[in-house]
Structure 1
Amino acid sequence: MNSKVKFNLSILGIFVFSLGIRFWNLSQFNTLVFDEVYYAKYGNEYLIGKEFFQSHPPLSQYLIAISIWIGSHFPADPETINNLTGSLRSTFSYRWLNALTGSFIPLIIGGIAYQLTQRKTVFLITTFLASLDGLFLVESRYALNNIYLILFGLSGQLFFLLALQKNQKLNWLLLSGVCFGLAANIKWNGLGFLLGIFIFIGIAWLIKLFNQEQSKDHLWTKATNLRLEEIFIALIVFPLVTYSLLWIPHLFVNHQYNFWQVHQEIWLFHQRIKGNQSDVHPYCSPWYSWLVMGRPVAYYFERVGDKIYDVHAMGNPFLWWFSTGAILVVFSRLFNRKERVISAYLICNYIANLLPWLKISRCTFLYHYMAAYSFTLIALAWLLADGLESSSPIYKNCSRSLIILVIFAFIHWLPIYLGIPLSVRDYYLRMIFPNWI
């Protein structure tokens, strides 16, 4: 079997694993889990034409509405049907599209890693690590909006990098702009992905102004080769038009506010959610706690006899901590000329998706870190690939050991990602810190 076949089979295997684990027992918990009380309900209200106010742009609810409409045409176990959305719907109907789209997240993150490094090893490790993350998994299994934010934001990043690498760069750049508009229409913080691109282009121009020698194949050189009109049309006009047009269906259904008024109301809504303390919401967490996963979010908890059913929105702990360490190491690689461009790209996008949260006074949650966290996974995979390909047995064995540890951690915490019943003792074995409960 040649290397190309092995590579393709590896990609297929990771995707099938991601798909299978997201769809496993997807219909369980015949209720609305966490913010499904909003998003699944809003999706159904689009279908029945009922007016409502929502605190985010409408695209994720459109997608959930599509999921419900398609899913309602398939037979369902009566035990999985409820009327909590306002109509009789199966739990599968409002969850399956999240599970499907979430299965592509590891491949998209891996695609970004490959475009940055042009190394298949980095691609495979990134994809594999992302498939072993708990937060991406949990967010993919319920009718929530965060997975769509990541899907469109990372797709925009991937298309931008393809625009720098391919001949028909304008087409890829326009696709990138559309995806950034889609991400912003999930949540406004989706603009962090676009901000990271602008920061990277800005630094590229600063490097050029200081006349530092660059290869013609250098990502910075390619970024400065983008014409100003291309950047304006593809990365400003297209995202803005895409974002605005997506409001039209919502405004047809909801007549209470016009386009400008609904934005004012959303802004005022978030301004009213002041404070990041437990008296606002028991799972509020400040931005700096996200780096160590200080306060995961319990999405579902039920005790039946001596068994506990729990779904925790939390990452794979060891993968999370190693990834935070990796992005710090990548900062030091800025001083290495050969590694500077990749390091700068990862850091620009990490900072763009994290630092804006420093000024946010409302209650925030661990899942707000998902965008920034995506780039720490690439950083970790990059370091691990260097270790595995190193001539040093120490680095090679350390990389192997870390990957094995991440695999075992995923298996250990899997019951609280999938809601598999645990004994009280086994539950507390996984809640190793009081703040995790």
Structure 2
Amino acid sequence: MISERLRPPHAFSWFAIALGVIFLGSLLLRLWRIEQFNTLVFDEIYYPVFANRYLTGQFVYNSHPPLSQTLMAVGMWLASGFPAEPDVINGLTGSMRSTFSYRWLNAIAGAAVPVVGGLIAYHLSQRRSLGITAALLLALDGLLLVESRYGLNNIYLLLFGLLGHLALLQGLSDRPRPTVIMRRVRWFRDYRGARFPQLRRFSDWVSDRLRTRRPLKPGDYFTLAGFWLGCAAAVKWNGLGFLLAIYGLWAIVLMLNWLTPQAISFPCNRLANLTPLNMALYFGLVPLLTYGIAWVPHLLLNPHPNLWEVHRQILAFHHAVGSGAGVHPYCSPWFSWLLMWRPVAYFYATARNFSETVPAYPALPQAAVNVVYDVHGMGNPILWWGATAAIIILLIQVWRDRPGDRGIGLYLLISYGANLLPWANVSRCAFLYHYMAALVFAILALAYCCDRLCWQGSPSRWPWGVGIITLCTVAFWFWSPLYLGLPLSPESYQLRMWFSHWI
């Protein structure tokens, strides 16, 4: 029975424990020394500043929707009561705040991304090994780590988009039987006789409701998916790539089912059961309403310009941004992201010794530099290149697979393409971090290939799968000083800059 086979991940204790360990490890890595560099790092000159203006009731203009700044403002308000050392407090946001206050919420969101990615892999395949492999590889990427250690907005886009896809896959899966709650409510069972019949009936009703928990229906999950996808778009407009992936997958499933019935494997084949009205409701109206509601706090504080005018201004801003090194030295074309050709330096400072405070102004002369602090927005090279190779392998596999085995490959390829290919039509300066949404699905593709090598192929192939995961782990350790901003000697720094265009 399918319903017997498709049990939720929490039915397997070791699976939940493994995901929990990955989450805790990711969280500790993100929180470790998160307050270092008492300054605004990279685009922190925008988002924490805007968040602080929300808290102080000042006018805010931003070139992106406001949800990430709203969340950051909540995090800063919550952290205002936390104790902090004087050397990590500054007034660069417009108020005296610790660096921890505008970074800690990003760390939690970033630590959740590998877990959500692992659950997506599990629901796609019903394989716990694939879920764990996917979560582990996502936890080993450097760019995802860097983006979640500072007050930036891309990690929220990623988390909300992945939560939308996870909710969709949960809605497409068979649900388990209602969970029995062992604790039963018997507060008023001792009342006998006719004096309190209404009270006893109410008690029975409460007890019956608490004894079993109604599982969410598919429509509930699809509504939740629409909500999360609307949140992704309310962080940045390129969050719409996650929504585009769902529409693309739905259209292709309908077409393939019409040409060759049972051409797509479970659970993606169930997308064919969604009517155009369902799609318009769950993945049109719900995201649109969520996107609009996300603007409410901003508009209450900034009623002028109105919603229509502010969108016109945002669009005009992005059209006016040029491209190329003349606009920004780290601009890069979309096709170069596949090879991680041009990483971005988020922070760079030098010192005479390890005890010297950074950043220090003015910059030291090159001859006096003995220590380098660098935060580089770059991925794990081995993981990154392996993920690109996995996408190519998956393309070949989907073409060769017999009907009925294409569900996982099609889902990953369409989701990857929907988050990458629209950038080919973007004329403004773009950066490596714009590849993050597509990168997640490329890493899931690599996890899928490794899982097949380890468990579904010839016994002689499993060392290849284990070897790839081991290489990714070693590479993460080697480049981790650049992700975490740890002090390096100039020689150690150059050792990690394999190409001149990485600097």
TM-score normalised to the size of structure 2?
0.84
Aligned to 1:370: 436
State the shift of 1:135 in Å.
Answer: 0.6
- Is the aligned partner of 1:18 residue 2:26? yes
SS in structure 2 opposite 1:283? coil
2:335 to 278, 288, 310: 288
Q: Which moved more, 1:101-110 or 1:158-167?
A: 158-167
Q: Which residue of 1 aligns with 2:266?
A: 218
Q: Larger radius of gyration, structure 1 or 2? A: 2
Which residues of 2 match residues 224-373 of structure 1 at below 5 A? 224-275=272-323, 277-305=324-352, 306-334=370-398, 335-337=400-402, 338-373=404-439
Deviations 1:57-105 (A, max 9, x none): 0000001101110111111011000000000000000000000111100
- 8 A Cα contact 1:159 1:173, kept in partner: yes
1:169 alignment partner, one of 218, 224, 247 = 218
206, 225, 230: which is aligned to 2:255? Answer: 206
Partners of 1:152 and 1:183 within 8 A in 2: yes
AA in 2 matched with 1:97: L
**Contact persistence 1:105–1:150 (CA under 8 A):** yes
Shift of 1:367: 0.4
User: CA-to-partner distance for each residue in 1:232-254, whole Å, 9 max, x for gaps?
Assistant: 21110000011011111111212
Distance in 1, matches of 2:459 and 2:273, equals 42
Query: 1:401 maps to what in 2?
Result: 467
Q: Give yes or no for the alignment of 1:191 onto 2:240.
A: yes
Distance 1:254 1:166 in 2: 45
Q: Distance in 2 between matches of 1:9 and 1:202?
A: 37
CA distance in 2, matches of 1:10, 1:221: 29
Could you give the per-residue CA deviations for residues 391-431 of structure 1, whole angstroms, max 9, x where no partner exists?
A: 53442111111111111100000001000000000001111
**1:125-157 deviations in Å (ceiling 9; x for gaps):** 000001111011000000000000000001001
Q: Partner amino acid for 2:106?
A: N
Alignment correspondent of 2:134: 126
2:478 corresponds to 1:412: yes
Three-state SS of the structure 1 residue aligned to 2:21 is helix
Q: Which amino acid aligns with 1:118?
A: Q
Specify the SS of the correspondent of 1:308.
strand
Sequence identity, in percent? 46
Separation in structure 2 between the aligned mates of residue 33 and residue 397 of structure 1, nearest angstrom: 41
1:432 maps to 2:492 = no
Distance, in Å, in 2 between the alignment partners of 1:11 and 1:248 is: 35
Verify the 8 A CA contact 1:114 1:120 in the aligned structure 2.
yes
* Counterpart code for 1:332: I
Q: How far 1:390 sits from its partner (Å)?
A: 4.4
CA offsets 1:182-212 (integer angstroms, 9 cap, x no match): 0000000000000000000001110122243
Q: SS at 1:300's partner residue?
A: strand
Equivalent residue letter for 1:137: L
Q: Distance in 2 between matches of 1:52 and 1:218?
A: 46
Contact 1:181 1:242 in 2 (8 A): yes
Structure 1 stretches of 4+ moved >6 Å: none
Distance 1:82 1:92 in 2: 11
Equivalent positions of 1:139-154 (< 5 A) are 139-154=147-162
Q: 1:214: Cα distance to partner?
A: 5.0
Alpha carbons 2:269, 2:407 under 8 Å: kept: no
C-alpha separation between the residues in 1 aligned to 2:484 and 2:53?
Answer: 28
For 1:264 and 1:109, locate their aligned partners in 2 and report how far apart those are by CA, in whole Å.
Answer: 34
Residue in 1 that maps onto 2:94 = 86
TM-score (norm 1): 0.97
Q: CA deviation at 1:9?
A: 2.6
* Partner in structure 2 of residue 101 of structure 1: 109
Question: 23, 28, 52: which is aligned to 2:60?
Answer: 52
Q: Is there any run of 5+ residues in structure 2 with no aligned partner, and where? A: 1-10, 176-216, 353-369
Q: Retained in 2: the 8 A contact 1:170–1:230?
A: no
The equivalent residue for 1:66 is 74
Name the amino acid aligned to 1:43: A
- Summarize deviations over 1:101-126 as a string: whole Å, max 9, x none: 11100001111111111111100000
Q: Give the stretch that moved more between structures: 353-362 or 217-226.
A: 217-226
Moved more, 7-16 or 154-163: 7-16
Q: 1:210 to 1:392 in 2, by over 3 A?
A: closer
Q: Which residue identity lines up with residue 390 of structure 2 in the other structure?
A: A
- Given the superposition, is the C-alpha separation of residues 257 and 373 from structure 1 closer, same or farther in structure 2, using an over 3 Å criterion? same
SS at match of 2:63: coil
Which whole-Å CA distance do the structure 1 matches of 2:405 and 2:343 have between them?
A: 33
SS at match of 2:270: helix
State the match for 2:6 in structure 1.
none
C-alpha distance in 2, partners of 1:221/1:318? 33
Amino acid at match of 2:377: A
Residue type of the alignment partner of 1:57? P
CA offsets 1:313-368 (integer angstroms, 9 cap, x no match): 11111000000000110001112025311111111111100010000000000000
